[in-house]
């Protein structure tokens, strides 16, 4: 399991870096982006099976940004359009 996640420009989150341990808890005010970051992390962890299933139904994409468009759908682009993500300092 990767040790760290960095996200830039996800919805209203300018930048966030999370270092994971045995137990990692997200704490913050309501609507601060905790769930968005958790959902993006879960999507990355499960991206293999999700991508396989989407391909099975004929969905195709070129890169991570295109995959996000396929996954989240039309109308949600403003949430992730400029999003940059790194896992263990490696761009996704």
Give the tens place of pLDDT for each residue, 17-75: 999 999 999 999 999 989 888 888 888 889 899 999 999 999 988 887 788 888 888 77
Query: How many other β-carbons are positioned within 10 Å of the β-carbon of residue 36?
Result: 19
Listed in order, strand segments (DSSP E) in the chain are 4-10, 13-19, 84-87, 90-91
pLDDT at 5 over 90: yes
Q: Determine the pLDDT at residue 19.
A: 94
pLDDT at 71: 83
Contacts of 21-24 with CB under 8 Å at 24 or more apart are: none
Task: Report the C-alpha gap between 88 and 81 in whole angstroms.
Answer: 22
């Amino acid at each position: 399991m990767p040790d760290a996640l960095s996200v830039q420009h996800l919805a209203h989150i300018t930048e966030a870096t999370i270092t994971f341990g045995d137990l990692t808890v997200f704490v913050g005010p309501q609507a601060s982006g905790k769930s968005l970051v958790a959902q993006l992390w879960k999507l990355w962890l499960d991206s293999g099976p999700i991508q396989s299933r989407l391909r099975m139904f004929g969905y195709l994409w070129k890169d991570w940004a295109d995959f996000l468009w396929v996954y989240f759908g039309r109308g949600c682009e403003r949430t992730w359009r400029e999003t940059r993500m790194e896992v263990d300092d490696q761009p996704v």
